[in-house]
Structure formats: structure tokens, C-alpha cells
Structure 1
Amino acid sequence: MRCLCKQVDLKGMNNRMAKEINACAFVKLPTCVLGKPYNSLCIKCTATICRWKFFCRSFKLSTINSNRKALGVYSSDKTTNQESDNSKALKVSDTFVKTLKSRYGWSMKNVPERFLVVLMCFLSFVLCNMDRVNVSVAILPMSKEFGWSQSTVGVIQSSFFWGYLVTQIPGGYLADKYGGKLVLGWGVLAWSLMTFVTPYAASKSFPVLLLSRALLGFGEGVAMPAMNQVVSKWIPSGERSRSLALIYSGMYFGSVIGLLLCPKMMSTLGWHSVFTSFGALGILWWLIWNAWIKSSPEKSNSISQDEKNYILKQRTTIGNKMDRTSRDIPWKLLFSKKATWAIIVAHFCTTWGYFVLLTWLPTYFNQHLGLNLASSSFVSVLPWLAMALSANVGGWCADYLLSKGFSITFVRKLMQTMGLMGPALFLSIVSFVHHPVTAVLCMALALGLGSFAQSGVYANHQDIGPEYAGVLLGISNSFAAIPGIVGVALTGFILDKTGGAWYIVFGVAIGFYILGTVVYNTMGTGKQVF
């Protein structure tokens, strides 16, 4: 086999060569640097081999000549015609080998591409909750500046879910039809732009602010179904629980980062800064996502053949893969199965407590417990940090139990029961606790155990219908968005009418946790239904 630039033979190298070929200089590298299968490299071909594309791009023609002396590279022939005719190779000295290790060692690690996909999905969920929680903190100075009551604050907080609800099912359908990569990317861009303009919207008028928050939810609404579709294409079933747990834990890390940064940024730069800076981060993520990620292993030009074979071999498949139109999705069948309704009810009950705490916990800490969010930032983020860590522990535990032969149904129900009854237990305790440290500890335990649901109902869509994973998650997430609208607004109303009776707020959440546990254990399954 010869290099596509026609200069030199490539022996034992990967077939995946660059589509964009320039005249190149060839370097033969010692085995000690690249290993036996990769002992030669064309430094002018972009993306010559998937794992060396960053190394290749580091050596553009404009920099090769300036670096040759420092790197100890010399050419045996300087004539252009002779180079093309005789394919004179550049020789690499020991100095070049040492320089490669010191300067470009980071790029010589064979990192599986599916790990990069999981990382980028994780970061998108970090941004997702950073852009949610910033208003939960900024609402305190904003309500003073604009004179908002608790009921008004509840309406503002819930307006996010107006748009969030609308795009759940369409987001899942579009992800299944056009690919989760495209849908997730545009969703992140949309919500980041709306986050960026929030200060302007608040200063303009109250309806404009509500519209911007609804459009932010419109963008975030596609995140879960689109991500679910990406994971179903990229992640083998044996790695799915911990991959999903890591990605979903991004939401909790986003809450941690947001709650740590927002008070300090607001005290120095004003409340406007938490919206403009977080929005700009999302736009940066979108640029990287489009540059690096493909919608499936089959469409990637940089994945190794071994990894592609590994994914395709273990990935769950059903029938022929083909483009589907709306008539190909069996809507009636999806809603006729008990497994679908088990997921819907459990998802609804899980998010009631989660959304209420996500939006109102800073207010609870500040006004009920008397904590200063700026000076006690670590204490206020402890529950979300516990949730982020516990989600990954739950994911690893679920995959471990599956590897030991436990059924998917048993593992999903066990994880979901812990994710519902754990919060119910500790919210019942915190309802009668007034000491700040004890209350924060109970909240940390409640939310930490609640994150085990990421390996329960949140992973169950791909179990019962892997080819309709995006649509199924869109359906359940539509119902799960209702607590964001009703529960968040209802909490503000309760607090206004009762003078801050938090035990009522927690009691309602406990009731839904118990309901979800009963329904999911009665009707849920881990077997493939669709």
C-alpha cells in the first residue's frame, strides 16, 4: 500500500487516509515512539491516521522549515523535482524523538472516540444546568431590583418549562430521523443564545423575559432525547449504564459549578455576568461539537476499525436500519404498553422533587436556613456534589450487577427504588429540621440517593425500545416537564400563602416519590418490548 500523496509506502498502517491531500514530507519514526504497527507517518497529510491527526496538523508546511533545525530533522535532497521523483525521506534524529515525546505526547494516546462523544455530551449537560441554576441564584437580586413577589418568581422559574415541554417529543423524533448529533448541537446553541440575552430581556419587559426563558427551555428540551439517540448509536450496551450516569451527572456538576461561580461573579461583576458568560461557553461548545463529533461510528472518518467493530458488534440492533418518517413510528403501540407508562409515571415522580429543589433550593438555603450563598457557597452546593458523585457510583453498580448475571429488570427496579425512596426518607426528616448543617446534610443524602434513578428509569428507554429510544425519552420527558411548570409555580404559591411552610412543599414531593416507586415496580420491565 502506498501513501495517497504517492511519496512512500505505508506498511502495516491503518487504511483510513486523508481526503484532503497536499504535497508532503515523509518521516519514518522509530518503533519506540509509535509502536510496531505505526512506524511511519506522512506529516503533511491532514488526518493521515485517526490517532495521529492532531500530530499531523501540528506540522504545517510553514512551520516545518523553522522547526527542522530545532528538531534535528534534515533532508538528503533539497530539489523539489528530485523529492517527487525519488521520494527522498526525511530522517529523524534522537532529538526529534525526544521532542515528540515532550511536545506531542498528549496526542499519542489511543483514546477511543466513543469516550470523546461521552465527554462532549457530559459537557453539554454541565452547561445545561449552569444555564438553569444561574437564574435560581440571580433571581434573588433580580427580584429586589424589579420588585417581584414569590409568586412572580415562581412564574419566572416555571416559564423555562413552557418551552421545555414543547420540544420533548419533536426533539426525540428529529433525533431519530436526522441524528442526535445535529439536534443536540442546535439545541445547545439555541439555549446558549437565550441565556446570553436574558439580562436584556429582563430590562426590556416582564413578558420579554418570560419569552426568553421559554425559548431557553425550547432549546434544552431536545437535549435528553437527542443525547439518548447519540448514546444508542455510539455506546455498547455493556457500557451504557455508566456512560449515561456520567452524562447525566453533568447536570449536577453544572449545578455545582453554577452555584459556586454565580454568587462570586454577581458580587464582583453584577448579576448580568452570569448569563452572558455562561451563554458564551455554550457557543464555544457548539463550535467544538461540530468540529469533532459525528452522528454515528459509521459516519466517522477518524474512528479506528477495531473500535468501530467493537461498537457495531455489541450495539443492540433491531431489523434493518432505515430512514423513518412519522408513519413508521408506532405511536399507538408505544402508548399501549405498560412498560411505557411505568417509565412515564416514574419519570414524572422523579422530576417533581428534582425540579422543585433545583429551582428553590438556593431560596430555601438563603431565606429559611439563613445561609449567605456567597460566603457559604460550598455548603449550598454539597447536595448537588453528592448527586454528581452518586450518579456515577450508581452507574458502575448497575453495570457490575448486570455483568454478574442479574436481569436488567431487577437492576432497573433496584436503582429506581433507591432513587425514589431515598429522597422520600430524607425529605421527611428535613421537613422537621431547622439546624443548617443537619438540613444541608439531609438534602445531600436525599439528592445523592435520588441520582440512582439515572441507572433506573433514565436508562430504561433503551432497554425496552432501542430503535425508538429518542422518541420514548421525548414522551416521558414531556410528562416529566409538567412538574417544572406546575410544581415550581405551585411552590411559590404555597410559600406566599403559608408564610414559608417548606414542610408542605417537601410533603407533596414525598407523595409523588412513593407513587412512582409503586407504579414502576408493578409495571416496569427491562426486557425489549419494541
Structure 2
Amino acid sequence: MTLVSDKLNESFAAKKLWTKSESKLWTLNFFMGTCVLYASRVALPLCATHMAQEYGWSKTDSGTVMSCFFWGYAVTQVFAGNFADRVGGEKILVPSTFVWAALTLVTPQLFDLAYRTGFPVVILILVRVLTGVGQGFHLPCMASIVARHLTAADKGRVFGICLAGSHFGTVVAGGIGSLLIEAFGWRTLFQFVGCLSLFWWYWFKSLRDASGSRNRTDNSSRKAESGGLTDSLLPLPDSLKKAHHGSNDVNAVPWGKLFSHPAFWAASVAQYCGANAYFTMFSWLPSYFSDNFPDAKGVVYNVVPSLAIVVTALIAPFIASRLMASGRSITFTRRFMESSSLISMALCLLCVSGSSGFYLSLVIFTAAMAARGLHHGGVSVNPHDFAPHHTGSVFGIFNAFSAITGFIGVYIAGWILQSSSNNWAYVFTFTAAQCILGAVVYAFLGTGNKII
């Protein structure tokens, strides 16, 4: 049996389970990676008002520039997860991270260059689309790596914590970025975030290389202990071959079975509706506060709502674990966490439509962002539930639904504002209605059971 285990470890080294210390280190690394990913992503929304003044953008122009990032991001999601399962997410993240990190660093120079040409819009869109393509690999690769290296009991909790780094990134960018923008101008925020992103790229690459070296050393040691027998002399028993390939062969992802299951589409609808609310707030809140409360401090409204979601996003996986430990089913837990998130966000957005004061608006949006954090115990980890052996592939397709909202929802919000003379109530009411729809659909059809 030991020799069979060696055979599996040698042939499928990337699927070796992490030790507790390795799990903590990789969780921290991915948390920080998702942090800088979102810090890079939020940089343009934070700077949008200043950039609009400098470049003469309308609300529709701002919506287009912010949303075109998601054109590349959404398209990449379709194949990124499957590619990660086939090749290994560790291999893909090194070049893809370098692309978006480098583009973030030089975005100000590229935008300035665009306006020295006769076709600035084309260059602006190209820069943002390429940044979206680079970032599109991160989450599917992370999902694939976590699925390969952790047991079923740990996947959801660890992945939820890693995803929470996204909200910490908005806090970092919102807090430090607001101060940088006020003191040195909007260009410094891109340079700051770009440097942080390149630092994480180097850390991840070093960790990956060190981990690969340890795996090769361990495999060599096991061969030596077994008397130097090679894998070619130790064929796997047919029963183990069948079991192994049945669970890990990404060439056999049963897409038809997945796409014909109503629970997958229920999760996709909830993912779309929740992401639409989040990306609308994510992209437009800086402009909302700047338009309605021009004397308010950006460091306050760019940080407080995002700080709330950091707390709930970190707590949500543990709440879900406690619910399941108390005897609640995975399906009940996912439905409860996601529906609570969507309904709470809808109520907050409907309330803010009629609010007028700065502090009341700030409190309501903070509550809305906090509610979004519960999502990390719900739909966000669903691919680990219903596709435990094809997580990267399924997560990429699944996450494309949330990415679509980035260019549809964000653009529509800009169009509504342009058409209604900046009537923000229309934007928030339309967004709240979609949250209610997602909550109802998922509450009736969502599942935490295995589908494929």
C-alpha cells in the first residue's frame, strides 16, 4: 500500500495534501494575493472622479472604462479553471500575475500616452481588458489549488478565508489610496498597488518553487527507502486506477449533467445578483459620495464600508462550519447564508435610496457591504460542494456569471445616472430588486450536495 501511495504522489505530485503548517502558509499567501488583486481592481474606481475631471469623462465614459476590465475578466473565466485543473494553477499564476501587476504599475503612463494619440478610447479599453485577462486566472487557479491540496472538510473554510482577502484589499487601497490621492495625485495609487502586486508575485513564485523542491525531495527519499524500485515496476491496481481517474480526470468533466441540474443555475443566478450589487457598490460608491457629499473625507467612505465586509467575510466560513457542526445540512447552510446576504443587501439599498445625510448613507452602505460578506459561507464556496473533483473547471464557469455583472451592471449604472441626471435612487432600487430575485431562486433550488 505504501508503494501504491508513492506511485500516486509521484504521478500526481500537485495533488499532495498540505500539512497543517503548509496549509496556514498557503492560506496566508492566497489571502494576501487576493488582497493585492482587489487593491489593483479598486484603484480605478477610487481614482475615477479625478480621472474624469482630468480627461473630461462623462458618467457613461466612466462606466465604460470601469466596466471594460470585466470584458477580459469574464472571457478568461470560461477556460481558466479548466486550464488550471489540466496544467496546474501554480504554473499559471506566475505569468498571469506578472502581467496584471505590471500593467497596474504603468497604467497612469499608458493612459497619458493614450491621450497623446488620435484614438485614446481604444488604448484605454485595451489596457483595462488585458488587465482583466491577467486577473481572470487568479480565483479559478486558487480554487483548483485549494481543491487539490485539502480535504473536503477544509476546502470551503480555507477558500472562504482566501476570498476574504479581496475585501481587505479594498480597505488597503481605500485607506492608503485616499491619502495618496489627496497628497500626491491619483497616479501614485496605481504605482503603490503595482509595487505591492509585484511583491506578492515574487513571494508566490518563491513559495511555489520551495514547495516543488520539497515534493521532489520527499519522492526521492521514498524511492530510496523502497530499495530504489521505480514507478514503472509498480503499476496501480485496476480498482485504484479507476477510483483515481474517476475523481481527477478533468477530460471527463460531465458538463451536460452539471448544466442540466437546476441547483447549478440557481447558484449561478444568486452569484450574478449578489455580484451585481457588490460590483455596483464597489465601482460607484466613491463617485456617489463625491457627488453627494463633496466635503466628506475619501479616507472615511472608501474604507469604512469595505472594513465591514472584511470582518463578516472572515467570520462567515466559521458560521457556516458551526451550523453544519450543529447538525444542519450543507444545503440548509448554503441557502441560509446566501439568502441572508442577498435579502439584507436589498433592504439596505432600498433604505439608502431615501436617505440624505452623509452619516446615515455611510451606515447603510456599511451594513450592505457587511451583508455581502455572508456570501463567503454560501454560494462562493458552492463549487467545492457540487463539483469536488473538478473545482477549478467549474469555478471558472461559475465565476463568469459574477464577472458578467462587472461590465453589464457597472455600465448600466453609469447609463442610468447619465439618463436620469444623477438619480442614484434608480440605480440602488434596480440593484435591490435583483438581489431579491436571487435570494428567492436560491432559497428554493440551491444545494450543497454533490452534482458531479
TM over 0.5: yes
Q: Equivalent residues in 2 for 1:489-528 (5 A)?
A: 489-528=411-450
Aligned ranges 1:21-170 → 2 under 5 Å: 112-170=21-79
CA deviation string 1:309-364 (max 9, x = no partner): xxxxxxxx993148978742222222111122122111111111011111101001
The residue number in structure 2 matching 1:78 is none
Alignment of 1:429-444 (within 5 A): 429-444=351-366
- Match 1:225 to one of 126, 140, 146: 140
Q: 1:268 aligns with which of 183, 204, 219?
A: 183
Contact 2:342–2:436 under 8 Å retained in 1: yes
Which residue of the partner structure matches residue 359 of structure 1? 283
TM-score by length of 2: 0.85
* Conserved? CA contact 1:180–1:227, under 8 Å: yes
Matching residue's letter, 2:44: V
* Residue in 1 that maps onto 2:201: 286
The two structures have a TM-score, normalised by structure 1, of 0.73
Task: Please identify which structure carries the higher helix content.
Answer: 2
The residue type equivalent to 1:338 in the other structure is P
Q: Secondary structure at the match of 2:243?
A: coil
Q: Which residue of 1 aligns with 2:256?
A: 332
Residues 177 and 323 in structure 1, CA contact (< 8 A), matched pair in contact too = no
* 2:286–2:301 contact (8 Å) kept in structure 1: no
CA distance in 1, matches of 2:205, 2:213: 17
Corresponding residue SS for 1:334: helix
User: Which position in structure 1 is the counterpart of 2:310?
Assistant: 388
- Which of structures 1 and 2 has the larger relative contact order (alpha carbons within 8 angstroms, sep 6+)? 2
- Equivalence for 1:200: 109
* Residue number in structure 2 paired with 1:181: 90
Aligned residue number for residue 239 of structure 1: 154
Alpha-carbon distance in 1 for matches of 2:247, 2:26 = 23
Distance 1:285 1:346 in 2: 31
* Deviation of the 1:266 alpha carbon: 2.1
Q: 1:197 to 1:245 in 2, by over 3 A?
A: same
- Specify the SS of the correspondent of 1:493: helix
Query: 1:466 aligns to what SS in structure 2?
Result: coil
Given residue 268 of structure 2, which amino acid in structure 1 is its aligned partner? I
The answer as to whether partners of 1:244 and 1:455 remain within 8 angstroms in 2 is no
1:175 CA drift (Å)? 1.0
Residues 438 and 194 of structure 1: CA distance in aligned 2, closer, same or farther (over 3 Å): same
Q: Could you list the per-position Cα deviations for residues 85-118 of structure 1 after superposition, in whole angstroms to 9, with x for gaps in the alignment? A: xxxxxxxxxxxxxxxxxxxxxxxxx971111111
Instruction: Measure, in 2, the Cα distance between the counterparts of 1:278 and 1:302.
Output: 36
* Cα distance in 2, alignment partners of residues 489 and 524 from structure 1: 29
Distance 1:515 1:299 in 2: 49
CA distance in 2, matches of 1:343, 1:371: 41
- What amino acid is aligned across from residue 396 of structure 1 in structure 2? F
Q: Residues 295 and 241 (structure 1 numbering): CA distance in 2 closer, same or farther, change over 3 Å? A: farther
Deviation at 1:520, TM superposition (A): 1.0
Q: Does 1:473 align with 2:395?
A: yes
Contact 2:248 2:390 in 1 (8 A): no
CA distance in 2 between partners of 1:318 and 1:125 (Å): 36
- Equivalence for 2:380: 458
What is the rounded CA distance, in whole Å, between the counterparts of 1:131 and 1:447 in structure 2? Answer: 19
| Map of 1:55 onto structure 2 | none
1:339–1:464: 8 Å Cα contact kept in structure 2?
A: no
> Whole-Å Cα distance in 1 between the matches of residues 360 and 78 of structure 2?
40
Q: Distance in 2 between matches of 1:114 and 1:278?
A: 26
In 2 relative to 1, CA 420–413 (structure 1 residues): closer, same or farther, beyond 3 Å?
same
Identify which of 381, 385, 410 aligns with 1:488: 410
Q: Quote the Cα distance in structure 2 between the aligned partners of 1:341 and 1:383.
A: 30
Does the Cα contact within 8 Å between 1:158 and 1:484 map onto a contact in 2?
A: yes
CA shift, 1:371, in A, is 4.6
Residue 119 of structure 1 aligns to which amino acid in structure 2?
L
Change (3 A) 1:198 1:297: closer
Answer whether contact 2:167 2:307 (CA < 8 A) is retained: yes
Q: Which AA in structure 2 matches 1:172? A: G
CA distance 1:495–1:394, shift in 2 (3 Å): same
Q: Which one-letter code corresponds to 1:187 in the other structure?
A: S
- Measured on the aligned residues, the alpha-carbon RMSD in Å equals 2.4
Assess if the C-alpha contact under 8 Å between 1:131 and 1:195 holds in 2: yes
Corresponding residue number in structure 1 for 2:335: 413
Q: Share of identical aligned residues, percent?
A: 31
Q: CA deviation at 1:376?
A: 4.5
Aligned length, in residue pairs: 407
CA distance in 2 between partners of 1:269 and 1:452 (Å): 36
Distance 2:73 2:242 in 1: 30
Pair member with larger Rg: 1
Does the 8 Å CA contact 1:154/1:492 hold for their aligned counterparts? yes
Counterpart code for 1:120 = N
**Which of 403, 415, 418 is matched with 2:325 structurally?**
403
Q: Distance in 1 between matches of 2:439 and 2:106?
A: 40
